[in-house]
Amino acid sequence: MGRYLLKKAGAAVLTIIFVLVLNFFIIHIAPGDPARILSGLDNPSPEVIQTLREKYGLDKPLQVQLVTYFKRVIKGDLGHSIVYDRPVWTLIKERLGATLLLTFTSAIIAFVLGSLLGAYSATRQGSKVDAALSFVAYLLYSMPSFWLGLMLILVFASWLKILPTSGMVNLRAPSTGILHYLDVFWHLILPATTLSLVQIPAYYRITRSSVSGVLKEDFITMFRASGMDERKIFRKYAFKNAILPTVTVFGLHLAYVVTGAALVEIVFAWPGMGRLMLGAIYRRDYPLLMGIYLIMSLSVAVTMIVVDILYAVLDPRIRYT
Amino acid sequence: MVATQQTNENNQCEESGGRPLLEILDLSVGYETGSGLVRAVDHVDLSLYAGESLGIVGESGSGKSTLVMSVLRLLPLDKTVVTGTVLFNGVDILRCPQQEMARIRWKEISIVFQKSMNSLSPVHKVWEQVEDIYRVHAPGASKDEIRERILHLFNVVNLSPRVLELYPHELSGGMLQRVCIALSLVHLPKLVIFDEATTALDVITQGQILDEVMRLERELKLTSIIVTHDISVVAKTCKRVAVMYAGRLMEVGDVGTVLVEPLHPYTKGLISSFPPLTGTRKKITGIPGALPDLKAPPPGCIFAPRCPEALKVCKEKSPVPTVVSRDGEEHLKDVKFGPGESAGLRNIQVPPIGAHVVACHKYGGDDA
């Protein structure tokens, strides 16, 4: 187990380094220049640009910049944002919480609802409920999250006026205590619903097919032949055998918790990482962007390790090797 | 516990009063497909007396497994059409309430499946599954009691106790088969069905397991049905044999009679498809052709299109199963069976124990 973890962690570190290097070059090859954006003029003088470049080390060759970056990252310093003029880690820290709140909430809701509905459908294949659920799943699956978000805003915020349009807090609401949490929860409802709805179909479909596959297995017939209660067969034996693919999807979704909700965050003006990243790309804020990539690949790597371990816990055929 | 079990058995013996333990009467099973009903089992009459061992043979797709699955009511309700009657100890299996069926399953009739590698959940330890299956019919059983019972059976089927702590994938096919056989015996059922239980095994393991099955039959006085496409398995383990083809019974009788002097052309063909172990080397002929389309079976005898001895009548009229004497010459014409008109289920005539039944026009099958 220890060796397995070490092996996985080693592979994860290598992956992260590879991703960072790749991203570093891609972002620098792309046209655009932060110095030009910072100078803020239509036709900035070459001196201003030169000074800005020197200030942020952009005048040095790429490989030198890369090595400098890695040296700093190893010391725990993610650098300084060019655009915001603040430490990258501080910027990320401010928004990570908001994003994780939104993405975890919706991932868990989608996981629970999607797999329950999928299991329900699988046991009633061909019924009207099954057909209706499958139809809705297709509909939601093909629906862009930002559009769904806009529609929800239109209905629940503009027309019915029962939920807030955007943001994470009401500036007039208390900023501490239970009322603050209630306020955040109030603002969370629409974006979390949007994100859950677009994720539910994946869980629904994978659970439905996996449960119906397991229900056809010989051991299910064997338990039936033993006179075992149908509910017990389902809850104990079918469920544990069918849950693995669903866990995979959950892992894949979790890997994108950090930045996967960018579109929804923009639609709902949610102060999260997704918006921070899009802004950084738009303004060629290299240090901020690299910092976000680092956090992102770190979260992907960590979730993958967790999913691998979970797999081995759930399925004895998979070993820690 | 043991005492009650014995009185139960005595009671049931008195109740059954010389009737077969299992009576299959005019049973038909159809599978619903998009393009029509596939008649997997077609008007089958078969009875099995306590203590007998019956082999059901036939080529793949002849409806053997479907037949035994319907005896345990394990066929999917929405995709199958089952008609006829199955009486087990006088209980109408196809129509009794679900609770009654749940009580009969495993406690009275248990089954060992074809693919034992998949007969246990791969993500649960053997012990956990043994425990759950045992507790279906003995909810209050202590762990020690279950362990003692299963270890005794493991000993009988030559398995080491450590198997309990393993997962199914850690066992070999033969070991899993033994686990399944041991599991099928935990409640000492009256009838055990082996559905191609040894087909997937190599001949050595198969031989060992068959020896064990035969020993169990003797020691535990089991009644068993062995479903197989391998005549040698039947020859080795069964007293009686039923030959099935395309969902219909072709010939039923004692193994010594049917396998040595088969009457039905299909049985002859089936036997000549296997090389004899002793005696002179014979040509293995086999049976040319393939199973008919069971959605639209040919009129007359279902085997007629492939039958080398087919007469004109064979393609026109279905032969009626008839009891014949040992040499096949004299017909006991007055013995017909199947549900009588007065369908008073207790009064159905069944062929006498050890009767030789053939469904072929050559042997009086056209008397109907």
Tell me: the pLDDT tens digits for A40-79? Answer: 767 777 887 788 777 777 777 888 888 888 888 888 888 8
Contact A228/B132, CB-based, under 8 Å?
yes
Q: What does the DSSP 8-state code read for residue B341? A: T
Residue B243 forms part of a structural domain = yes
Instruction: Classify residue B79: in a domain, yes or no.
Output: yes
The tally of domains found in chain B comes to: 1
Res A203: pLDDT: 93
Q: Is residue B153 part of a domain?
A: no
Measured between CB atoms, does B343 come within 8 Å of chain A? Answer: no
Distance from CA of B97 to the nearest CA of A (A): 13
Is residue B350 within 8 A of residue B19, CB to CB? The reply is: yes
Whether B260 and chain A come into contact, CB under 8 Å, resolves to no
Do the chains contact at B123 and A316, CB–CB below 8 Å?
yes
- Please report whether residue B224 resides in a domain: yes
Task: Please answer yes or no on whether B105 and A240 come within 8 Å at the CB atom.
Answer: no
Q: What is the separation of C-alpha B195 from the centre of its chain, rounded to a whole number of angstroms? A: 7
Whether the Cβ atoms of residue B86 and residue B107 lie closer than 8 Å to each other: no
| CATH of residue B204 | 3.40.50.300
Interface touch B111/A225, C-beta < 8 Å: yes
Residue that the structure tokens 């009691």 belong to? B145
Within a domain: B368: no
Helix, strand or coil, per DSSP, at residue B224? strand
CB of A228 less than 8 A from some CB of B: yes
Question: Of the candidates A221, A228, A316, which has its C-beta nearest B74's C-beta?
Answer: A221
Q: Is B74 on the interface with A (CB under 8 A)?
A: yes
- pLDDT for the residue numbered A36: 73
Give the count of beta carbons closer than 10 Å to the beta carbon of residue A127. Answer: 12
Domain ranges, residue B203? 17-108+189-285+295-363
The sign of the CA dihedral A120, A121, A126, A132 is: positive
- Shortest Cα distance, chain B CAs vs residue A98, angstroms: 38
Residue spans per domain, chain A: 92-272
- Which are the contacts of B271, defined by CB distance < 8 A and separation ≥ 6? B231, B259, B262
Q: Report the pLDDT value the prediction gives residue B18, as an integer from 0 to 100.
A: 66
Phi-psi region of B56 (alpha: psi -120 to 50; beta: other; left: phi over 0): beta
Alpha-carbon gap, residue A230 to A228, rounded angstroms: 6
A126: which chain B residues are within 8 Å (Cβ-Cβ)? 78
Query: Is residue B210 in some structural domain?
Result: yes
Rounded CA separation A77/A257 (Å): 23
- Test the B interface: residue of A124, A222, A223 with most B CBs within 10 Å: A222
B182 touches chain A (CB under 8 A): no
Q: Report yes or no on B67 lying in a domain.
A: yes
Examine the predicted complex and report whether its ipTM is higher than 0.85: no
Quick check: B121 and A226 CB within 8 A?
A: no
Residues of chain A numbered 231-250 and touching chain B (CB < 8 Å): 232, 236-237, 240-241
Q: Which residue of B has its CA nearest to A124?
A: B78
CB pairs A-B closer than 8 Å: 71
Which of B106, B120, B167 has its CB closest to that of A219?
A: B120
CB contacts of B72 in chain A (<8 Å) are 225
Residue B124, domain member (yes or no): no
The pLDDT mean for chain A works out to 85
Indicate the burial class of B203 (C-beta count within 10 angstroms; 0-12, 13-18, 19 or more): exposed
Q: Is B124 on the interface with A (CB under 8 A)?
A: yes
Is residue A310 less than 8 Å (CB to CB) from chain B? Answer: no
Which residue from A minimizes the CA distance to B120? Answer: A219
Nearest by CB to residue B133, choosing from A228, A316, A317, is A228
Q: Of A224, A226, A237, which is closest to B121 when you measure between CB atoms?
A: A237
Are A227 and B72 a contacting pair at CB < 8 A? no
- Best mutation site among B121, B185, B193, B225 for testing chain A: the one with the most A CBs within 10 Å? B121
How far does B108 lie from chain A, in Å, by closest CA? 10
The beta-carbon neighbor of B105 closest among A227, A236, A314 is A227
Structure tokens at B53: 């061992």
Strands (E), B196-303: 223-228, 240-245, 248-254
Q: Which of chain B's residues have a Cβ under 8 Å away from the Cβ of A211?
A: none
Q: What is the pTM of this model?
A: 0.77
**For residues A265-289, average pLDDT:** 85
CATH superfamily of A92-272: MetI-like (1.10.3720.10)
Using CA atoms, how far residue B294 sits from A67, A193, B301, in Å, is 74, 53, 13
Q: Do A218 and B113 touch (CB under 8 A)?
A: yes
Mean pLDDT of A136-158: 89
Tens of pLDDT, residue by residue, chain B (368 residues):
344 444 444 333 334 456 788 988 889 999 988 888 898 998 888 888 888 899 999 888 888 989 999 988 888 888 889 998 898 988 888 888 888 888 899 889 999 987 777 889 999 999 999 999 999 988 888 999 999 999 998 988 888 999 999 999 899 888 888 899 889 988 889 899 998 887 777 888 888 888 888 888 888 888 999 999 888 889 888 989 999 999 888 999 888 888 888 888 999 888 888 776 666 666 777 788 888 888 888 888 888 888 888 888 888 888 887 777 654 444 444 444 444 333 333 334 556 666 788 888 887 655 44
Shortest distance, CA A241 to any CA of chain B (angstroms): 7
Cβ-defined contact of B137 to A227 (cutoff 8 Å): yes
